[in-house]
Amino acid sequence: MTDPAHYARRTGAPDRTTELLSTYGIEAQDLERIATYGKLVVGKLDVYIDMFYTWLARQPDFDRFFSDPVKLEHVKTLQVTYWEEFFRARVDSHYVEQRELVGNVHARIGLPLPTYFAAMNYSMQIFLDELYDGSLEPAEYAATARSIMKLMNFDTAVVVDTYSVLTHRTIREQSDALMRMSTPVTAIWRDILMLPIVGIIDSKRAQDIMNAMLTAIADTQARVIIMDISGVAIVDTAVANHLIKITKATKLMGCECTISGLSAAIAQTIVELGIDVGNIKTMATLRDALAAAFRATGTAIRDAT
């Protein structure tokens, strides 16, 4: 048997392709069998398309992704090209890039992976059963079927890996966006920043809040930052400790932190828990905190009336 690494070098395949060929045990003779079998079925790709889309039309995701006739015809054309390349069996960098493109497209449109797996499984059934003309010796047919399955597994691995990478990247970007939305530090006046906090403060979010506040202070050289917690439902020992750490960190940056929005219930809870808030500056309302911030920065606001 031909070593897959040798075959990959001979065809100019990159390291990743070499590794995948080796991982799935694809030898040069596997590719030769696939190319030979391709001569039996590529001319019948129109039959494949009819059978495949008759099956696909019965799947629950069909209307969601293929209701547009123009789009459907475009997808069919791309699919014919895909299988022509598959049965050409020239596995090089271009081949892998095309499979990565499939993974990218599926991830972008949100096609479920189970649907993709089912489609590949049914495609294999069509090519090996429905379109086979019985011209090969049984042993050769069996060997060819194994080779086709190897390359289909190769394709699936590339598609799923690309799909997963793009999906995880999207989730990470969405998570970062939500983090920024949940810690919206805003410059409301010269030298004055404000951060309204809504919801639950856990260790992860407290760290995000601290990072956002310290970054904003460093960028603006603000002298006062108001942290309004009127939207925080629960203040317990852990939350109070997070707030204390945040105010201490801002003080080290030369910025005074005022916590506003302490309701009577929250104030009573802090007292009952025996939490030492130390030198934390607190205000009952955001209005009071803003007035104090103006005084601290020497800003005079006159009533126009």
Q: How far apart are CA 121 and CA 187, in angstroms?
A: 57
The secondary element (H helix, E strand) that includes residue 292 is helix 286-296
Question: Quick one: pLDDT at residue 145?
Answer: 96
pTM above 0.75, yes or no: no
**Distance in angstroms (rounded) separating the CA atoms of residues 232 and 257:** 17
Mean pLDDT of 93-120: 87
Q: What is the pLDDT of residues 182-216, one digit of tens each?
A: 567 888 888 999 988 877 777 777 888 888 889 99
For the cut 70, the answer to whether the pLDDT of residue 98 exceeds it is yes
Task: Identify the structural domains of the chain with CATH numbers, from first to last.
Answer: 4-177 (1.10.490.10), 186-296 (3.30.750.24)
The pLDDT score that the predictor gives to residue 180 is 55
- The whole-chain average pLDDT of the chain stands at 85
What's the pLDDT tens digit per position in 133-149? Answer: 999 999 999 999 999 99
Given the structure tokens 């629950």, which residue do they identify? Answer: 60
| pLDDT the model gives residue 230 | 84
Give the integer Cα–Cα distance in Å for 195 and 213.
Answer: 8
> How far is it, in rounded angstroms, from Cα 54 to Cα 69?
14
Share of residues in the chain with pLDDT > 70 (%):
88
Q: Which residues of 17-27 are buried (b: 16+ CB within 10 A; e: fewer)?
A: bbebbeebebb
- pLDDT reported for residue 132: 94
Give the Cα separation of 187 and 28 in Å (integer).
Answer: 65
